[in-house]
Copies of this chain bind each other. A is one copy, B any other.
Amino acid sequence: MANLRFLRGYNDAVVLGLARSGAVTRVELADRSGLTPQAVSKVVSRLIGDGLLVESGTRNVGVGKPRTLLKLVADSRLALGAQVERDELRVVLTDLAGTVLDRAVAPLPRDFDPPTFVEELNRLVDGLRSDRLLGVGIGFVGPLDHRTGVVHYPTGLTAWHDVPLRALAEQRLGLPVVLDKDTNTAVVAEAWRRGEELRDAVLVLVGTGLGVGMLLDGRVHRGVRTNAGEYGHTTIQLDGPPCVCGRSGCIEALHNLAAARGDLVEATSIVGVAVADLVQLLDIDHVVLAGRAVLAEPTAYLDGVRARLPKDEWLPVDVSITPLGDDVVAAGAAMLLLSEFYGRPR
């Protein structure tokens, strides 16, 4: 189904996405969006009216009337993002550009239950509230359902079986809430900050587990039950050591074994092979590495991955470490919420 509201929202989102990358002019927006100059004019005047854009000087490009520069009013809208791990809750405040403005971190008790969590979340959110706050995004460990906002049965959290977290949090916080898997919010962080430029990317989150967030053709791929990206339990050694998942020779098992015995070269090499497989399967040109393990040894992981990617290819793959560091999941959750308001409609 598509109607005029969708049409407007879509074009607004395209223009805003282009404006997020930096200062632009109406002419450039028209060129890069495919919209006519008149349409861009209308869209821009709407966005200026909403306080999302401002005119900021002119840029002269040879003869003729100079182009008017447009700038995103980044602090006109704010969002909070939360990362929930088994021992820690992290909440960050970001603006419309995806810049992290503030953060709060608190430990969570072992095997915390939903009421405890929601109270703690509320406490941290209260410390970061603002009048321009649009809502809160939550990046949780899977499995969960993004559409319904229900957490299913994350391992290690015995009190979390089919908990309608989004509804609970919305009620307690009095704000719109979105819920997604940590790997998905992390890749949203990269996608939102780079704007329309980044359309295909994989974010590899290496912590105790190994998950990936996939941005395919400009959209986050979640799969039929928001469970896509469980890459840690992919077989990479048919006759390998048994894994906690019941199968054997999983990427995660081999990586963690190598890491545990201090063999960083082997550990990063396994991640490298796995990423190379993924790049080949999905035909991706951007790989972003994140997670505690990676941030502890960034250059080792960068080297390990780059060494395993095909060289001298017609398709160069850009491999980088997330510039958001430990905030990537929480910040991405905030941007996921921003994209509910100002991203492409569905």
Of the listed residues A3, A280, A284, the one surrounded by the most CB atoms of chain B closer than 10 A to its CB is A280
Q: Are B227 and A221 in contact (CB under 8 A)?
A: no
Partner of A237, one of B152, B238, B270, B315: B238
Cα separation A226 to B219 with both chains bound (whole Å): 17
Knowing A216-B216, A223-B284, say if A4 contacts B7 (CB, 8 Å). yes
Tallying the copies of this chain within the complex gives: 2
Q: Are A200 and B223 in contact (CB under 8 A)?
A: yes
B contact residues around A35 at 8 Å (CB)? 1
Chain B residue at smallest Cβ distance from A9 = B2
Knowing A216-B216, A219-B217, A237-B237, say if A224 contacts B277 (CB, 8 Å). no
Cα separation A216 to B214 with both chains bound (whole Å): 11
B contact residues around A34 at 8 Å (CB)? 1
Q: Are A221 and B216 in contact (CB under 8 A)?
A: yes
B contact residues around A33 at 8 Å (CB)? 1
Task: Confirm or deny: A231 has a beta carbon within 8 angstroms of a beta carbon on chain B.
Answer: yes
Knowing A217-B219, A224-B285, say if A233 contacts B2 (CB, 8 Å). no
A interface, by DSSP: helix, strand, loop or mixed? loop
| Bitwise interface map of A from 10 to 33 toward B, beta carbon under 8 Å scored 1, else 0 | 110010000000000000000001
B contact residues around A216 at 8 Å (CB)? 216, 221
| Bitwise interface map of A from 230 to 258 toward B, beta carbon under 8 Å scored 1, else 0 | 11011111111000000001000010000
Cα separation A230 to B283 with both chains bound (whole Å): 8
Q: Are B221 and A217 in contact (CB under 8 A)?
A: yes
Task: Confirm or deny: A229 has a beta carbon within 8 angstroms of a beta carbon on chain B.
Answer: yes
Q: Are B237 and A277 in contact (CB under 8 A)?
A: no
B contact residues around A227 at 8 Å (CB)? 283, 315
Knowing A200-B223, A281-B230, A285-B224, say if A238 contacts B273 (CB, 8 Å). yes
Chain B residue at smallest Cβ distance from A221 = B216
Cα separation A271 to B311 with both chains bound (whole Å): 28
Which of chain A's residues 86-140 have a Cβ closer than 8 Å to chain B?
none
| Bitwise interface map of A from 268 to 290 toward B, beta carbon under 8 Å scored 1, else 0 | 00100110111011111100000
Which of chain A's residues 19-53 have a Cβ closer than 8 Å to chain B?
33-35, 39
Chain B residue at smallest Cβ distance from A270 = B238
Task: Confirm or deny: A228 has a beta carbon within 8 angstroms of a beta carbon on chain B.
Answer: yes
Knowing A34-B1, A235-B236, A235-B273, say if A228 contacts B282 (CB, 8 Å). yes
Task: Confirm or deny: A261 has a beta carbon within 8 angstroms of a beta carbon on chain B.
Answer: no
| Bitwise interface map of A from 197 to 215 toward B, beta carbon under 8 Å scored 1, else 0 | 0011000000000001000
Task: Confirm or deny: A222 has a beta carbon within 8 angstroms of a beta carbon on chain B.
Answer: yes
Knowing A217-B221, A219-B217, say if A234 contacts B280 (CB, 8 Å). yes
B contact residues around A270 at 8 Å (CB)? 238
Task: Confirm or deny: A225 has a beta carbon within 8 angstroms of a beta carbon on chain B.
Answer: yes
Chain B residue at smallest Cβ distance from A254 = B238
Q: Are B281 and A228 in contact (CB under 8 A)?
A: yes
Could you list 9 examples of A-B contacts with CB < 8 Å?
A2-B11, A199-B224, A216-B221, A221-B282, A223-B284, A224-B283, A224-B285, A237-B238, A237-B239
Extra contacts, 5 of them, besides A200-B224, A230-B283 (Cβ < 8 A), are A212-B281, A229-B283, A234-B280, A237-B239, A238-B240
